[in-house]
Amino acid sequence: MKVHQGPLLYEGKAKRIFQTDHPEQVVLEFKDDATAFNALKHSILQGKGVLNCQISAHIFECLEKNNVSTHYLGLAGNNSMVGQKIDVIPLEIVIRNIATGSLCKQTPIVSEKELDPPLLDIYYKDDNLGDPLLTEARLKLLGLITDRQREEIEEIARKVNSILLEFFQTIDLTLVDFKLEMGFNNSGKILVADEISPDTCRLWDQRLNDPEKRILDKDRFRKNLGGVVEGYEEILKRIQGASGKPSNAVSDC
């Protein structure tokens, strides 16, 4: 997609957002920076930006084809995409299919327990506060969204989970958990935004049993396992191999 990239609007840990000459469109540029533990750990991983951009683009296309509205409009380059300009809702919606990560650090729930129905956690997006987990009452108190919007956000997140669980299953990957961000477009519609990539998902390779080797996502970086970019490359390779195959159960992913 050809767009004119204008001034920088915002720079985050993993992306830069630029205005375009269209008032309602922005360019999202994916950086090679990898951070964890609220940026206490930082590295530059050559090629990560391109991989996350390409993986996210494919996932957004898959969601759109399955009637989930996202901000994604098209690729602008190898490491950049065009998105609808949105009012970001400062919430991180996490869906967990298998217990791991912070859930097991903060509760006695045993690692690898299957969560059925999947657990939906909502966090307040604020690095200075360390992205705290919210209760329903605290979310109400914050007044960021109405009860109806909360229901819609949860419904969207669960729908995204069923689509992606099924899609990743077709390429022998287990979607363990993932984080979504959402926002309002200029007509007030809620869109899935930001990125959906191995930076924001946990994906385990079903072809491997070893609990470390099977990790293909940012946990490789968080846990100092090495081979981070190689893990992301494997995910993109499988996604590209899957696209266009008529046997995919999820329509057109």
125 binds ligand TMP (CB under 6 A): no
Helices (H), 111-180: 136-142, 147-170
Within 194-223, the residues that bind ligand TMP by CB under 6 A are: 200-202
Least spacing, CB of residue 141 vs ligand TMP, in Å: 22
Q: What's the DSSP call for residue 70?
A: B
d(CA 228, CA 70): 27
Q: Which of 102, 149, 174, 248 touches ligand TMP by CB under 6 A?
A: 102
Question: Given the rule CB under 6 A, which residues bind ligand ASP?
Answer: 13, 35-39, 218, 222
179 binds ligand TMP (CB under 6 A): yes
Q: What's the DSSP call for residue 154?
A: H
Burial of 128 by CB count in 10 Å (0-12 exposed, 13-18 middle, 19+ buried)? Answer: exposed
Q: Return the number of the residue (12 or 226) whose C-beta is nearest ligand TMP.
A: 12
Within 74-93, the residues that bind ligand TMP by CB under 6 A are: none
Burial of 19 by CB count in 10 Å (0-12 exposed, 13-18 middle, 19+ buried)? Answer: middle
Cα 216 from chain centroid? 14
**Partner from ligand TMP, ligand ASP, none contacting 165, C-beta within 5 to 8 A by type:** none
Which positions lie near ligand TMP, rule CB under 6 A?
94, 101-103, 131, 177-179, 200-202
